[in-house]
Structure 1
Amino acid sequence: MATLDRRAFFRTTGLAGLALGLAACGDGGTTASPTSGDGGGFGSIKLQLSWKKNVEFAGEYFADTNGYFKQAGFSQVELLSGGGSGTSVESGLATGRCWAGISAPTITAPAVLQGAPLKIVGATFQKNPFAIISLNDRKPIKEAGDLAGKKIGVQDSNELVWNALLKANGIDEGSVTRVPFQSDPSMLTSGQIDGYVGFVTSGPVNLRLQGHDPAYLLLADAGLPLVAETFTVTQETIDNERDKLKAFLTAEIKGWKDAVADPAKSAELAATVYGKDQNLDVKEQTEEAKMQNELIITPDSKANGLFAMTPELIEQNIASLAKAGVTITGEQLFDLSILDEVYQADPSLKLA
């Protein structure tokens, strides 16, 4: 059974090493909610983020700042920074250090197969941000067939996703030159490589701010559809705290509706409040927020609501995981019934 690099399939900025491990969630820069207060029928919870506090978690910031968590009955929601070694949503949930976490199928699936009693109950990003990033004025890669004859930068940690992409498109690995890569975009701008595996929310944004004209091919549009920024909880929470989970998801939906409607405010909250110790640039974060909206807002999420996954999308994710060597069923990994109940109870939560 394959153990996947959490950042190798996922994350909107930066790559890191293996994130699946036995270490429990550390406090990793725990921040008490600015709007936290006394009371709240559901008390205080800890939400483990998938990465450091940047605009990727704008919906959580809005849910906190605008009081949606408090309205839902939580006295406090602590946002635990992710990223770095020894931080794992899955192991934190398994040990009870986190009540809920934001992760990805590519890391949760192996944990489930190893016996962790976890389920994904919603997906913020309907499309994974992984992409092949290139330049329009060089040799743009706009479809999988364009990879042939190209030099592509691939980090070692991204080998699994790279091989899965080739397999999904029937591309002979010998037809593409893989070049060792350490996330340095100057290799692209100087012509050393024709493209690299990176994140659409950050790579093209930074290239554009540097005066370049980037092109990108989302892996989700190239035969490898996967969701990301998934809400993961324990089976016990689903079984015994269903109302609490529905209240949490309701607050999250409200927060993300605000976030997608206001990228500039999303960036401001990330750079000046929640991630103020990350030295984030508001302009760059605003552009990232706009890019991630393209991963969040799809015809299906408009029709069915934020975080929802159609049976077809679930099947596509299972098939993509199989291409990466992870064999699991939809029933083992996903439970969207809670989210269905949320929208049945309040259809107004859906996007207008």
Structure 2
Amino acid sequence: MTRLIRAFTAAALCVAAAAGAPAFAQPLQKIVLRTDYKFNGYVAPFALAVQNGYYKQAGLDVSIQQGQGSGTTVQTVASGADDFGLADASIVVLAVTAQNIGVKLVSVYTQTGTMGLIYRANAGFTGDLKQLQHKAVISSSGTADLRMLSPALASAGMNTDDVQLQIVDSNARVPMFLKTNGAYLTGFATGDLLRIRSRMPDAKYMPYAKYGVVAYGTGLIASDDMLQKHPDLVRKFVDASRKGWEAAVKDPQAAVDASLKLYPDLSREFVQGGLKIALAEQLHTAATAAHPIGWTDEGDWKKMLDVLAKYAGVHDPKAPAAYYTNQFIAQ
């Protein structure tokens, strides 16, 4: 009987091998990636990683779910409601510093020129911030682009009292800008700017980076609990995501197409425009250019924390290692 069982098992294994499938395939582990806000161009590489099977090759079944802002995503990831999330680095710093929320950035994909001022082509703005004195500047409470306005203005010896700051709901900021002649809008190059250009194609953009404001943008976050208990899972997810970004660099259109397969109601032009900016202008700072996509530099972090401490209400920031780690990025 034992010989019969062994013979049967061997035959079954041979059949499975001939069929090109493992005899005892492990089920894929379901993972939720929560975006920061809806679906922008910089989410497209993750969609491409799904389509190309990079996550499945790592044993993961990844679902990309749209978020309602970096602050909310930080909370859901910290609580374990979501496995991974995309969030703005400055919002992560504020959450960790002020509320001791247990998350870290394990990769940052938009690293420079992410935030700035949006304005009309006929505004006559030359880049001199003193031209903003007494002008309407529209923004939204709690956003990273509002926090970075103060250090940008400070570079010209100004503060927010020197402009007519108008705080509106995040959903109202673009409509408010479009109907307010002579106004400026704080915003993101891969989001607000593209929404405005769909209505006002000649709209202009000046990044805060022009004024020496160092601020990492959107990155991948995981909870401290995830990092401590499941480091292999984090490493697999980070590596598969990096492959998605590398593939998007080689074939951006494939990443856009993959995005529309996940969310058919997306605007192709919006996703395509955001991805183009992310890949061409935001992947690296000078300090990270020689490293893999997602890798961040301690020196950049120190500069950013200094800016946030002076101008953005981040009191007594911790050491950079409290906010990020490169340990899951293969060199």
Q: TM-score range by the shorter chain?
A: 0.7 to 0.9
What's 2:100 paired with? 115
CA 93–284 in structure 1, closer or farther in 2 if over 3 Å, else same: closer
Deviation for aligned residue 1:69: 0.7
Three-state SS of the structure 2 residue aligned to 1:337 is coil
The CA distance in 1 between the partners of 2:26 and 2:298, in whole Å, is 35
What's 1:268 paired with? 257
Aligned match of 1:70 in 40, 56, 59? 56
Corresponding position: 1:324 with 2:312: yes
Q: Equivalences for 1:117-156 in 2 at 5 Å?
A: 117-127=102-112, 129-156=114-141
What's 1:192 paired with? 181
What's 1:337 paired with? 327
Deviation for aligned residue 1:225: 1.9
CA 139–179 in structure 1, closer or farther in 2 if over 3 Å, else same: farther
CA 257–151 in structure 1, closer or farther in 2 if over 3 Å, else same: same
What's 1:240 paired with? 229
Q: Equivalences for 1:156-305 in 2 at 5 Å?
A: 156-158=141-143, 159-167=146-154, 169-179=156-166, 183=172, 185=174, 192-210=181-199, 212-270=201-259, 272-276=260-264, 279-293=265-279, 294-305=281-292
Q: In structure 1, list runs of 5 or more residues that go unmatched.
A: 1-37, 344-352
The CA distance in 2 between the partners of 1:131 and 1:174, in whole Å, is 18
Deviation for aligned residue 1:337: 2.5
CA 172–238 in structure 1, closer or farther in 2 if over 3 Å, else same: closer
Deviation for aligned residue 1:310: 1.3
What's 1:61 paired with? 47
Q: In structure 2, list runs of 5 or more residues that go unmatched.
A: 1-23
Root-mean-square deviation (CA), in Å? 3.0
TM-score, normalised to structure 1's length? Answer: 0.74
Deviation for aligned residue 1:224: 2.6
Aligned-residue identity in percent: 21
Q: Deviations over 1:210-256 (max 9, x none)?
A: 46422211123323322122211122333332222222111111101
Corresponding position: 1:102 with 2:90: no
Three-state SS of the structure 1 residue aligned to 2:47 is helix
The CA distance in 1 between the partners of 2:151 and 2:286, in whole Å, is 26
Q: Deviations over 1:5-36 (max 9, x none)?
A: xxxxxxxxxxxxxxxxxxxxxxxxxxxxxxxx
Deviation for aligned residue 1:126: 0.6
What's 1:21 paired with? none
CA 90–176 in structure 1, closer or farther in 2 if over 3 Å, else same: closer
Aligned amino acid, residue 232 of structure 1: I
Report how many residues are paired: 299
Three-state SS of the structure 1 residue aligned to 2:116 is strand
Aligned amino acid, residue 120 of structure 1: L
- With 227-236 and 210-219 compared, the bigger mean Cα shift is at 210-219
What's 2:9 paired with? none
Three-state SS of the structure 1 residue aligned to 2:290 is helix
Higher RCO (C-alpha under 8 Å, 6+ residues apart): 2
- With 297-306 and 43-52 compared, the bigger mean Cα shift is at 297-306
The CA distance in 1 between the partners of 2:38 and 2:180, in whole Å, is 31
8 A Cα contact 1:142 1:215, kept in partner: no
Q: Equivalences for 1:19-34 in 2 at 5 Å?
A: none
The CA distance in 2 between the partners of 1:141 and 1:199, in whole Å, is 19
CA 157–67 in structure 1, closer or farther in 2 if over 3 Å, else same: same
Three-state SS of the structure 1 residue aligned to 2:38 is coil
